[in-house]
Each structure stands twice: as structure tokens, then as C-alpha cells.
Chains A and B, each alone.
Chain A
């Protein structure tokens, strides 16, 4: 059984007087424990698909099931709680809170998930170590480089040990070398934690690391490439 299952999902947005379809009658299964990349040109519906899977947006039609939960049946508060406990998000522009230090940014999702102070602190230290930023814990985002900020964002996304880590073009705002380092870090963390990562990206480096590559065009699935058949049994 797939970790994420989308059935006949459609989503469109109003642009002035017209509605523009972003995702149309889409069916997709995303396997658990995999490094899945959503590829496609700009405007193909990658980000919309990530938003729908992450529960930050709702489809106009169709059903989305994550680990057996039908997201369409959850009220707004329940959906918020679902995101807090089961989804980690990495943004293209990092989206760190500028008034919080690196450690506090990592701590925020734990706070939202209601984790007690002791475990919260030790988890933050563990993650700072994992992303190599233990010496930058007290620094605010404005005092960090782009690569360091994205490391903090990755640590923050992993903080609650979510079912699903979603990343929208995580290397788009990084130079090639830093992007490669970030991809390697994410891949390493994914392997060690066994979490499921879903990315949207144009980056060929990222695509090269993927277990599954989903090609999207005009809001529809064009192709799905599953590279490691052994993973099927884990999913």
C-alpha cells in the first residue's frame, strides 16, 4: 500500500476572471521510505501537488489519502495538527523565522506538536549535529549563509520525525556546489531516518538521486519512473 494516494484529484485557481487548472484528474501513489522527485516545467502543477499532499491546500475534486487518512475529511484544526505531527516542509526560500535563532527555528515544529521541553531540547541538539550546525545554534537566519539556512530548514522539517518530508525546489536558491551538498545531506538523512521525501525540482542532480521520478505536464502525470524495485516491498 502506498504512503500517499491521490485519486482523480483536480485543483484550479482563479486568475482574474478565468479559472486556471493546476492539477487535473490526477492519480498517483507515492511509496513510503523513498526519495521521490516531481519533475516538470514551470506551471506544470508540481508545487500544487506538493501543497495538496502536505495538506496546506485542498483539492476541488478527488481524494488524497496519507498513511490511511483521508485529508478531505479533516477539519481545519485537525489538518493543522496533521501537518504539525506528520509533515515536514522545506521551502525554496527557506522561510525561516528571522527573529528566532537556528536552534529555535528547529524547535518551533516540536513546540507546535506539543513535545515536552526536555525531549524538545535534546532533539534540537541531535538535529543541529546531524546538519553540522551545532556551532551556529544561536545565530539568527540573517547571520547564516544560504546553505546554512537551508540546513536549518531541513533540520526543522525533520524535527518531528514526520511521515512525509516535502520540499519545493530546495536547491533553487543555492549555488551548484551548495545545492549538491544539500542534496547529499538530504539523501543521507533520508536513508538513515527511513523517512519519505517528496521534492519538486528542475535540478538534474536531485533527479539523479531519486528513487522515483514523477514527470508532470499540464497538471497531469506524464510518466512515473521507479528506479529501485526493491523498495516496492518496503512501501
Chain B
């Protein structure tokens, strides 16, 4: 017979009370783990999405991220092929790298002449095969919503547009976008005159776009292709307007509605021709995707040195995916505060439930405590006995809580339950990511055991400090 056995048997004396306490712990732990798993899934999902889209790090010209979004021409990175080679060839960086790829972002106006529609767009020129490889990154094994862009192997003038852009340009039917109805062409106002009246463009630019469309139709000829033909107008590096013809070959749901309504992707050389014409082409960013996010600090430090040593004249800066996507930290903080609040509430409830149970046990067993003390058990032995009981209760609660979490998580993850978060353009599956999150598991289990011991500490101390004579007299 050991004191652990005595503690276990004491717990079984008042089974109903022990069971009620256990239930509070089980439900509390499961609630914390499930909400923590939900939070973990959202944060890992967001991180995965951002890293798939923009890499872990981006090399940009200083100030571009804050001020250059609408003026990429002024923030172009020169010598980007040499820079990419230097990054890929660096012996310290090479083992950490997965993808290094350039991109050029440019804002402009897209026109679908056949439908008489125009739309402001934020276009990105990219290297399709590298970009698609970046979209395969899924280090956490989350449900990934990233599909490869249809630009890989497509013609030089191919473009992929967001579903919102497709709707606004009247390309839903031509691109067979599901659940998408093309917007009606705008009616000209009573005073509208000239070529630009239908599209909203200034007349001279409307004529330029129309001519480009006619040239393309004359060159391409095919009717179906002509139905997906769009023109994009943007300011060139010299400040003059420039127009290129693009063939919409596919659509993508960019996730966020705000982005989906303006998204247009094209081949990098095409975007460079639009912005730089015959000048030496530049890019606005070089995305660096690593094997794992944990490698970020080391990669960043090395990349910083490399850029300073070899490309110091260009005033470059490095931004990680969190800096590029402030929403991730904001979501993290929001979910973190909710998680903390819920955990605190549950912790307090569990703490008082266990303290009440142990307090009642001390009260009921006062004579036994006196007897054990009279037999020679030290005060510390009494404290240890009650803490053992609490710890056993805690371990049982943790085991049952983990089991309940497993069952609930399996049911939730298999339910197919989905919802569309505010500002998103499609529904996300509600998933909980408990077992993959070691920190959440360890923290919750350790926290529950710590609460159990802390809540038992005061009753145990009170039991140990009872006067033996008084305890033996207790009725």
C-alpha cells in the first residue's frame, strides 16, 4: 500500500463529486484545445496562404511597400537576374531556399472591348512555373486553397484574372467561371459622347485601347479567343500611357474579395513591356520562399548581408511575410486575445471547482487527518497526500479531456462545415488543428495540471496546519 493508492482510493470515496469535478476539467480542457486548435488552423492557414503567394521574404526597393504601390515605375529593382543568381548561389542561403522568383506589380485599367466593360486592376507579372511552385508550399499540412495559375506553358500574352474581375469585365461565361454572372455593360449617360463614353475611359485612351484590340483580333483571328481578349492600360516608366493586349486564359479566386475584384496575373515579360517598353526591364519584388518558416531569421540575416555587400547602391529592404501582410499579426492578436480570455474563464472555473472539491474533502476527512498526524505523518505528508489526490484527478481529467477532444476534433474535421470569413471571397472549412500543434497541447495539459495543483494547494495547506487535537475532536 502506497500513498498514491491511498490518494486514489480517497478520490473514489465520493464518486459523484469527483465525477462532477472531473467533468468540469474534461469540458474545460476540451474547450481550450478545440478553440486553440481552431485558432491554430486559422493562423497556420493564413501563414500558408501568404507564404504561397508572396514567399517568406521579399526584396524590394526601400519605400515601395509603404509608398510605391501606385508607382511601381519609380521603385523598380535593376539587375534582378544577377541578384537572383547571387541569392540562389549563396552557399549559406542555398540549403534554405525553395523558390526565388521576381515579380512586377502594376496598377492599371483593363478593358474587355467585346463586352464594353472596363475595370481597375492590380496586375502582377510573374514567372508562372516558379510562382506555381511557390503555391505548392505547405509545411504545416493544412487544407490548401491555392491552385496553380493557368499561366504555366501559356502564350506570352496570357492572363489569369480574379473572379471579381471576370464578373466586372463580362468574362464569366467565356471563362466558364462557376457561380459567376457577368455584370451588365454600363449605360451611357445623357451627355456622354465619343469613343470613351461606354467604357468610362478618356476618349483618346479608349481609341488607343480599341485599336489595340482590333490589331489583336486581326492577328489572332479566332472568334472564341477574341471573346476573351482584354487590353490593359497602364502608365509606362516615362509616364506616358501604354496599352498591351492580353488573352484571358483562366480565372482564380484570390481569396479576399478586395483582391479578387482587382487581380490580374500575366507573364513577367509582358508586364515589363507594359511598364518599361524598350528600356531595361525591372521588377518590383523578388520573393524568397524558404523550406520552413523557422529558417526565416537565419535567411533574413544572411540575405541582408548579401544585398548590402553586392547591391548596396540600390537601397533595398527586406520584408517578411508578416510585414507584407499585417493582417496576419492582427488576426493573431485578435484570436490570441479571445483564446486568452476563454482560457482564463475556463481556468478560473476549473480552479474554483477543484478548490471546492478539495476543501470539502478536507472538511469531511478532518478526523482522518488528525489520526494520520497522531500516527506520525508529518504536515508535509498531509500536504503531499492532498496534492497527490489533486494530481491524480488532474491526470484523469487530462486523459479524458484529450479523449473528448479527439472525438470532437474528428467529428468537426469530418463534418465539412464551412463558412466565409468577413472580407473573404470563398468559404473556408472549419477545422481544428490540435494534434499537430505541440505547443498548444503541451501548454494546455501543463496549464490544466498546474491549475489542479494550485487549486488544491490551499486546502492541502489548511489540512496540514490543522491542530491534531482539534482535528480528532471534529464531529
Q: Does A135 contact B (CB under 8 A)?
A: no
A81 to B3, CA, bound (A): 17
Size bracket of the B interface: 20 to 34
Say whether A97 contacts B6, CB under 8 Å: yes
Q: Does B24 contact A (CB under 8 A)?
A: no
Given contacts A97-B6, A99-B13, contact A112 B375 (CB under 8 A): yes
Q: Does A54 contact B (CB under 8 A)?
A: yes
Q: Does A83 contact B (CB under 8 A)?
A: yes
Q: Which residues of A contact B371 (CB under 8 A)?
A: 91, 95, 97
Which A residues, 85 to 121, have Cβ-Cβ distances below 8 Å to chain B?
Answer: 85, 87, 89, 91, 93, 95, 97-100, 104, 107-109, 111-113
Within the complex, the shortest CB–CB distance from A151 to chain B, in Å, comes to 17
Say whether A107 contacts B1, CB under 8 Å: yes
Within the complex, the shortest CB–CB distance from A148 to chain B, in Å, comes to 18
Given contacts A57-B469, A77-B378, A80-B378, contact A100 B9 (CB under 8 A): yes
Q: Which of A56, A82, A91, A111 has the most CB of B within 10 A?
A: A56
Cβ contacts A145-163/B at 8 Å (1 or 0 each): 0000000000010000000
Q: Which residues of B contact A104 (CB under 8 A)?
A: 1
Report the nearest B residue to A111, measured CB to CB.
B1
> Within the complex, which residue of A54, A76, A84, A91 is in contact with B379, where a contact is CB–CB below 8 Å?
A76
Q: Does B367 contact A (CB under 8 A)?
A: yes
Q: Does B468 contact A (CB under 8 A)?
A: yes
Within the complex, the shortest CB–CB distance from B472 to chain A, in Å, comes to 7
A69 to B468, CA, bound (A): 21
Main secondary structure of the interface of A (DSSP, over half): helix
A76 to B373, CA, bound (A): 10
Say whether A81 contacts B468, CB under 8 Å: no
Q: Does B374 contact A (CB under 8 A)?
A: yes
Q: Which residues of A contact B373 (CB under 8 A)?
A: 56, 80
Say whether B13 contacts A83, CB under 8 Å: no
Q: Which residues of A contact B446 (CB under 8 A)?
A: none
A54 to B375, CA, bound (A): 10
Say whether B377 contacts A112, CB under 8 Å: yes
Q: Which residues of B contact A215 (CB under 8 A)?
A: none
Q: Does B314 contact A (CB under 8 A)?
A: no
Given contacts A57-B468, A100-B1, A104-B1, contact A84 B368 (CB under 8 A): no
Say whether A109 contacts B376, CB under 8 Å: yes
A112 to B6, CA, bound (A): 13
Q: Does B10 contact A (CB under 8 A)?
A: yes
Given contacts A97-B368, A100-B9, A107-B1, contact A80 B376 (CB under 8 A): yes
Cβ contacts B352-394/A at 8 Å (1 or 0 each): 0000000000000001100111111111110000000000000
Main secondary structure of the interface of B (DSSP, over half): helix
Given contacts A56-B468, A97-B368, A107-B1, contact A83 B374 (CB under 8 A): yes
Report the nearest B residue to A80, measured CB to CB.
B378
A interface residues, tally (CB under 8 Å): 29
A56 to B369, CA, bound (A): 12
Say whether B469 contacts A89, CB under 8 Å: no
A192 to B10, CA, bound (A): 36
Q: Does A51 contact B (CB under 8 A)?
A: yes
Within the complex, the shortest CB–CB distance from B465 to chain A, in Å, comes to 10
Within the complex, the shortest CB–CB distance from A162 to chain B, in Å, comes to 10
Given contacts A51-B469, A57-B469, A91-B472, contact A109 B9 (CB under 8 A): no
A99 to B371, CA, bound (A): 14
Within the complex, the shortest CB–CB distance from A72 to chain B, in Å, comes to 16
Q: Which residues of A contact B381 (CB under 8 A)?
A: 112
Within the complex, the shortest CB–CB distance from A16 to chain B, in Å, comes to 15
Say whether A99 contacts B10, CB under 8 Å: yes
Q: Which residues of A contact B10 (CB under 8 A)?
A: 99
A151 to B282, CA, bound (A): 98
Say whether A113 contacts B1, CB under 8 Å: no
Within the complex, the shortest CB–CB distance from A110 to chain B, in Å, comes to 10
Say whether B368 contacts A89, CB under 8 Å: no
Which B residues, 1 to 21, have Cβ-Cβ distances below 8 Å to chain A?
Answer: 1-3, 6, 9-10, 12-13
Say whether B375 contacts A109, CB under 8 Å: yes
Q: Which of B372, B376, B469 has the most CB of A within 10 A?
A: B376
Say whether B13 contacts A54, CB under 8 Å: no
Say whether A83 contacts B1, CB under 8 Å: no
Which A residues, 46 to 91, have Cβ-Cβ distances below 8 Å to chain B?
Answer: 51, 54, 56-57, 76-77, 80-85, 87, 89, 91
A93 to B370, CA, bound (A): 13
A76 to B3, CA, bound (A): 21
Report the nearest B residue to A94, measured CB to CB.
B371
Report the nearest B residue to A97, measured CB to CB.
B368
Say whether A89 contacts B378, CB under 8 Å: no
A82 to B373, CA, bound (A): 11
Within the complex, the shortest CB–CB distance from A163 to chain B, in Å, comes to 13
Say whether B6 contacts A99, CB under 8 Å: yes
A9 to B468, CA, bound (A): 19
Say whether A89 contacts B1, CB under 8 Å: no
Within the complex, the shortest CB–CB distance from A111 to chain B, in Å, comes to 7
Q: Which residues of B contact A93 (CB under 8 A)?
A: 367
Say whether A99 contacts B374, CB under 8 Å: no
Q: Which residues of B contact A97 (CB under 8 A)?
A: 6, 368, 371-372
List 5 A-B pairs, minimum CB-CB distance, nearest first: A84-B376, A99-B9, A83-B376, A95-B371, A56-B468
Q: List 12 A-B contacts (CB under 8 A).
A: A57-B469, A77-B378, A81-B376, A82-B376, A84-B376, A89-B374, A97-B372, A100-B6, A109-B376, A111-B1, A112-B376, A112-B377
Chain A contact residues, CB within 8 Å of chain B: 51, 54, 56-57, 76-77, 80-85, 87, 89, 91, 93, 95, 97-100, 104, 107-109, 111-113, 156
Chain B contact residues, CB within 8 Å of chain A: 1-3, 6, 9-10, 12-13, 367-368, 371-381, 468-469, 472
**Further 17 A-B residue pairs, CB within 8 A, beyond A84-B375, A100-B9:** A51-B468, A56-B374, A76-B379, A77-B380, A81-B378, A83-B374, A83-B375, A89-B374, A93-B367, A95-B367, A95-B371, A97-B368, A97-B371, A99-B9, A107-B1, A108-B372, A112-B376
